[in-house]
Amino acid sequence: MDKLSRRTLLKASLAAGAGLCVPNLMQTSRAEEALPAPEEIAKERAAKYVFNFGSVYATENYLTTPHVHLQIKQIVEKSTNNKVYVKIHDKGARGSESQLANAVKYQAMQGGLLSIANLSPLVNEFDIINIPFWAADDASYLRLVGSHAWNKYILSKTAPHRIKILFHYVIGARTATTVRHYGKLIRSPEDFAGVQYRIPNSKTLGTFYKLAKAIPRAIPWNLTAATARAGRFDALDPAIVGLYSGPDNLKNEIGVISDIGLVHDGWVAISSTDFIESLDASTRTQFLDAFLAIQAAQFDAYQNARKYCEQEFAKLGVKIYAPSKQEHAALVHAFGHANEVWTPVKIALLGPNGPAVFDQLYKAAKG
């Protein structure tokens, strides 16, 4: 698996724009207590702007979920000299991820954390990331989302929706994971056949599972653990941190994890373009630059969370299997981007020149 050091990540982030030095906050890897309520109220009243940021994740679960809620609050407020006050609305208080996307689009919220799978129905082009086995590992994914090609062909498509991507989270690659009642290891193309698979809201991933002869099951994320307990599906595909931190103690329903590196289980932090444009010029620059530091802090949080989740899964008796090079090559050969089944998908998502555009994105991912 291609690895990316924190130093390399920070260098890449700073190359994208002006650097921001926040030495104490860049080291933040644990949750810290918020200021007492009266001080927070005073700080909000003194601020020129309020940035309401929604997330389905619980702030206190920072060890298993690298959402960096507190780093977003602390770094943005410090970077803007408290001109921007950040309110984190966690645990789905402002709706699910798809609801959050629309809330930001229509300015009911100023920002939010969502998965690419839940953004792709609004901006279809993002679903290109869900073609298997081309930009799944951390380094390839970060090269891709930081590239000129990604900005030109994907990020630019958010403009009509009045949404801006603040940064891409690193979460790790999607897996082939079976639940306890099924309990078999998936490591070859043949292992997918006939398996009832819980899938996210992605047409491209749906195409993959049909190609693999699995049986897709569209099950909401918040009902995944309950339906697993009821035996309504056999397998699911989140990254390791998502499997452990999933709602309703999903971790207790996991049987065997096969770390096949399917696609990157991407999340994004988004903001309303109208909110950004409402900021005065200096504050706008400070606000946007803050997310370079937040992205580096998030990569630290991700590495810590993945290690923690792996250790905790071991305590639960859950095996994490790493396919051999030969096994991975067989999966890529059967389902990878060169398969002709993906040509119409590339055209549908990227336009008439979709295959050529995809080649540019592929080259960007590989460096």
What are the pLDDT digits (tens) for 252-283?
999 999 999 999 998 999 999 999 999 999 99
22 in any annotated domain: no
- Number of compact structural domains in the chain: 2
What are the pLDDT digits (tens) for 142-162?
999 999 999 999 999 999 999
**Distance, CA of 98 to CA of 78 (rounded, Å):** 30
Same domain, 242 and 339: yes
Query: How much is the pLDDT for 92?
Result: 87
Same domain, 48 and 82: yes
Same domain, 76 and 180: no
Residue 17 confidence (pLDDT) above 60 = no
Same domain, 298 and 328: no
30 in any annotated domain: no
Residue 31 confidence (pLDDT) above 50 = no
Same domain, 152 and 47: yes
Between the alpha carbon of residue 22 and those of residues 85, 275, 285, 292, the distances in Å are 17, 24, 15, 11
What are the pLDDT digits (tens) for 343-367?
999 999 999 999 999 999 999 999 9
The mean per-residue pLDDT over the stretch 42-53 comes to 96
Query: How much is the pLDDT for 9?
Result: 54
**Distance, CA of 337 to CA of 179 (rounded, Å):** 28
Query: How much is the pLDDT for 3?
Result: 45
Query: How much is the pLDDT for 118?
Result: 82
Nearest to 301 by CA among 64, 4, 16: 64
Task: Look up the domain containing 79 and give its range.
Answer: 39-123+145-170+266-304
Same domain, 243 and 335: yes
216 in any annotated domain: yes
11 in any annotated domain: no
Same domain, 108 and 194: no
Query: How much is the pLDDT for 254?
Result: 98
Query: How much is the pLDDT for 8?
Result: 47
Same domain, 205 and 292: no
Query: How much is the pLDDT for 36?
Result: 67
Same domain, 184 and 160: no
26 in any annotated domain: no
295 in any annotated domain: yes
Same domain, 155 and 221: no
CA angle, corner 105, sides to 91 and 75, nearest 5?
Answer: 55
Between the alpha carbon of residue 88 and those of residues 26, 41, 211, the distances in Å are 19, 14, 40
Q: What is the mean pLDDT of the chain?
A: 90
Q: Where are the alpha helices (DSSP H) in 106-193?
A: 116-119, 138-145, 148-153
What are the pLDDT digits (tens) for 68-90?
999 999 999 999 999 999 999 99
Residue 21 confidence (pLDDT) above 50 = no
211 in any annotated domain: yes
131 in any annotated domain: no
Same domain, 99 and 221: no
Q: What is the pTM of this model?
A: 0.88
Residue 25 confidence (pLDDT) above 60 = no
Same domain, 204 and 76: no
Strand order in the sheet with 319-321: 215-218, 196-199, 235-236, 176-179, 254-258, 319-321
72: CATH: 3.40.190.170
**Distance, CA of 8 to CA of 23 (rounded, Å):** 17
pLDDT band at 35 (very low <50, low <70, confident <90, very high): low
